[in-house]
Amino acid sequence: MSFFLTEEQEEALNFILDEENKKICEEQLNSEDFPEELKEIVRKTVEAGAPIPAFDPQVGYYTISFTPCEDGNRIYLHHHLTNVSKAIYDPILPILQDQSEEISEEQVEVLQEEIDTPQTEIIDPSTFGGVAPEYTNEQLEAMFGAPPKEITEMIPQPQS
């Protein structure tokens, strides 16, 4: 089974990615805990006008989901570093907008939040600020694998 984006959907994807990448790049560049070598790489992508955050290339930094439904596919982007999910295309959104006069604005917001909220819990150790304190490095490595050698070689090691 194959899934494809139309030209308009690709534009929407790129717009959302640019929006979210700018946020996370800014956070990474302003972080005191973020390695200077990685900051330099991120800084160069920002200066080039195509901000791309530092991420683990083995797991990527976003997911596109296609959910078949009666009117086509519901297509969503989930950005793993900002933990934001947004619709690239969802045939139910115009229906919600058309019905918004019949239901309260608060109900529309609740429905939109349900659409935008992933139904599965995502454990994401790569979020800004480091890993959640309840996980040890060994536990994270067991869950997600070791960081790529190219990244770990860039991080200065303490002198013994």
Tell whether 108 is covered by a domain. yes
pLDDT of residue 39: 93
Tell whether 158 is covered by a domain. no
Helix (H, G, I), strand (E, B) or coil at 62: strand
Tell whether 129 is covered by a domain. yes
Tell whether 57 is covered by a domain. yes
Helix (H, G, I), strand (E, B) or coil at 114: helix
pLDDT tens, position by position, 117-144? 655 444 454 554 444 456 666 776 676 6
Separation between Cα atoms, residue 77 and residue 49, nearest integer Å: 21
- Report the number of distinct structural domains present in the chain: 1
Which residues of the chain register pLDDT less than 70?
94-108, 110-112, 114-137, 140-141, 143-144, 147-160
Structural domain span for residue 138: 7-152
Angle at 16 between CA 12 and CA 19, to 5 degrees: 140
Task: Please identify which residue in the block is written with the tokens 């309840």.
Answer: 134
Tell whether 2 is covered by a domain. no
Tell whether 160 is covered by a domain. no
Average pLDDT, the chain: 78
Tell whether 145 is covered by a domain. yes
Q: What are phi and psi of 11, to 5 degrees?
A: -60, -45
pLDDT of residue 118: 57
Q: Is 112 exposed, middle or buried (0-12, 13-18, 19+ CB in 10 A)?
A: middle
Query: Is the CB of residue 42 less than 8 Å from the CB of residue 52?
Result: yes
Q: What are phi and psi of 80, to 5 degrees?
A: -70, -25
Tell whether 67 is covered by a domain. yes
pLDDT of residue 1: 72
